Chains A and B, each alone.
Chain A
Amino acid sequence: MPNNQHPFAVGDRIPAVGWFRRFKDHLATFAAVAAVIIVLAPLVAIFVYLVYKGVGSINWAFLTQTPKPVGEAGGGMANAIVGSVLILAIASAIGVPLGIGAGVYLAEYGQGKFGKMIRFTADVLNGVPSIVIGIVAYAIVVLRQKHFSALAGGVALAIMMVPTISRTTEEMLLLVPGSVREAAYGLGIPRWRTTLSITLRTGTSGVITGVMLAFARVAGETAPLLFTAFGNQFWNLNVNQPTAALPLQIFNYAISPFDEWHRQAWAGALILIILIVGSVAALRVVSSRGMMKGAG
């Protein structure tokens, strides 16, 4: 039974919480706040410099012209912007249907062993470094065609999109309540129709969010394009030829010794970041509103 020889607390007098404990508490709070500030500092710095160094160089010429020969001032990244669009279009054409299809399989039919295998594989694929994917696309496309091409670049990016899209699609479709599917079955609608018209329709905003996130992620990728699309100083709309891409152009200009090209690299980077961050931010707004409605 409790005795009065207890090491602390005598009667009504309780020792105050020791100063050292309070000090540690305050120190922890201070350290956590400091961490946030240190972490956000580069973010702010990057955006500030992108705008500061890039905004001056973005003009009509920059957006519509191809690069001038080395040493000459002026010129632009128009071919890189268009090239990126081309490569991303190819990537999406391959990656989005495959990814959504795999996601649909996982959500609707994937409860068994094969489903587990697909899920595991998708997670593994998500972790593969993009440069390795570039090597694979090189082996599959470039080696066969014996030249670099936008197609090869598109394939590389598609390989990166598929696992991401399939997992997010699966997640979104699983959020659709079983009762919705049952209602459709109860009306005599066959399974395939239910999945396409009912389930997918209900989960559309979520699926699109997933696709756009994957898209934003690969839009900024450089490594897989280094030896697939390879880059091009001129216009190219032929999918079987080496093609310029915005991230590639930024990289090449940044590591070059020419100030003129450095200037343009900043401008290109500013455009790239606006496109990517703009879509991610817009998505967050749309999805947080959509989440309220869609998921029930």
Chain B
Amino acid sequence: MGVGIEVQRLNAWFGKNQALHDVTMSIAANHATAIIGPSGCGKSTFVRCLNRMHETLPEATVAGKVKVGEQEIYGNGTSAVQIRRRIGMVFQKPNPFPTMSIYDNVAAGLKLNGFHDRGKLDEIVERSLRHAALWDEVKDDLKKKSGASLSGGQQQRLCIARALAVEPQVMLMDEPASALDPISTGKIEELIFQLKEHYTIVIVTHNMQQAARVAEFTGFFLLGHLIEFDKTEKIFTNPSDKRTEDYITGRFG
């Protein structure tokens, strides 16, 4: 089951440039929350702060609190490595491991975490691929084909399967469909619908229609500030803030 995320006064910097200013929001468990906003507004940075990937960039710093379920992920002594197992991430450009087979790609996270039981691995790989709606397409070539030999849409679903295999409670998706064709995008969106039931999903998207399609809640970011956060329906039909309205109606961005 998914867990909720509490973000309190999150700030983030790239060197001296502040990318996020005092962001506070509550992300509901087992729902999909979309993060929208124009280029450079900090959406990717925000999401990367949720699984402590932001700090891997040179001169990147974070301040504030993020609580995933009961755990403070920036708490003293909390290991980032541990957090990342619990919060999965899918990136904008599909990045399967090119030197590994499909099977090994999905199993990679498990093997890294010390899990080597052959029988159980097979089971988990199959289950993850099914959840990612990729099983039927690759079940005969699991160990023969390399991860990079699939089409773009399939690669992204493979990355989703890989992330699912380590049983995260939260799935972060940074514009997962922006590099894909419309049909693959549709498949990914369908997937998100199904995943919502059991995971908490945060999806960054520059495509407002996509946000409207898949997410129950939406947060609008502008220049590093969270301008508005509410039910998707409300944001798109009756936004409270004028800037939100301007963005939605296409006056800028």
Determine whether A and B are in direct contact in the complex, meaning some CB atoms lie less than 8 angstroms apart. yes
Provide the residues of chain B in CB contact with A21, threshold 8 Å: 114
Q: Does B118 contact A (CB under 8 A)?
A: no
Tell me the B15-58 residues at the A interface (CB within 8 Å).
none
Across the interface, do B198 and A18 meet the contact criterion of CB distance under 8 Å?
no
- List the A residue with the shortest CB-CB distance to B120: A7
Q: How far is the CA of A21 from the CA of B198 in the complex (A)?
A: 29
B residues neighboring A (CB under 8 Å): 1, 3, 69-71, 79, 81-82, 85-86, 113-115, 117, 120, 131, 167, 169, 197-199
Q: Can you list 21 A-B pairs, Cβ within 8 angstroms, ordered by A?
A: A1-B131, A1-B197, A1-B198, A2-B167, A2-B198, A2-B199, A6-B167, A7-B117, A8-B113, A8-B115, A9-B85, A9-B86, A9-B167, A9-B169, A12-B71, A14-B71, A14-B82, A14-B85, A17-B79, A17-B82, A18-B114
A39: chain B residues at CB < 8 Å are none
Residue among B71, B167, B198 facing the most chain A CB atoms (10 A cut-off): B167
Chain A contacts of B114 at CB under 8 A? 18, 20-21
Not counting A7-B115, A14-B85, a sample of 17 additional A-B residue pairs whose C-beta atoms are within 8 angstroms of each other reads A1-B131, A1-B197, A1-B198, A7-B117, A8-B113, A8-B115, A8-B167, A9-B167, A9-B169, A12-B69, A12-B71, A14-B71, A14-B86, A16-B79, A17-B79, A20-B114, A21-B114
**B70→A12 contact, CB < 8 A:** yes
Q: Indicate with 1 or 0, residue by residue over A179-216, a CB within 8 angstroms of chain B CB atoms.
A: 00000000000000000000000000000000000000
B47 to chain A, nearest CB (A): 20
**What is the size, in residues, of chain A's interface with B at 8 Å between Cβ atoms?**
13
Q: Are A17 and B167 in contact (CB under 8 A)?
A: no
User: Closest residue of chain B to A9, judged by CB?
Assistant: B167
Mask for A121-150, Cβ within 8 A of B = 1, else 0?
000000000000000000000000000000
Q: In the docked arrangement, what's the CA distance between A256 and B198, Å?
A: 81
Name the distance in Å between A28's Cβ and chain B's nearest Cβ.
Answer: 14
Chain A residues 1 to 44 lying within 8 A of chain B, measured CB to CB, are 1-2, 6-9, 12, 14, 16-18, 20-21
How many Å lie between the Cα of A12 and that of B117 in the bound state?
24
Report the Cα distance A1→B3, complex, angstroms: 16
Smallest CB separation, B161 vs chain A (Å) = 13
Inter-chain contacts of B81 with A (CB < 8 A): 17
In Å, the complex CA distance between A20 and B131 comes to 31
Q: What is the minimal beta-carbon distance from B115 to any residue of chain A, in angstroms? A: 6
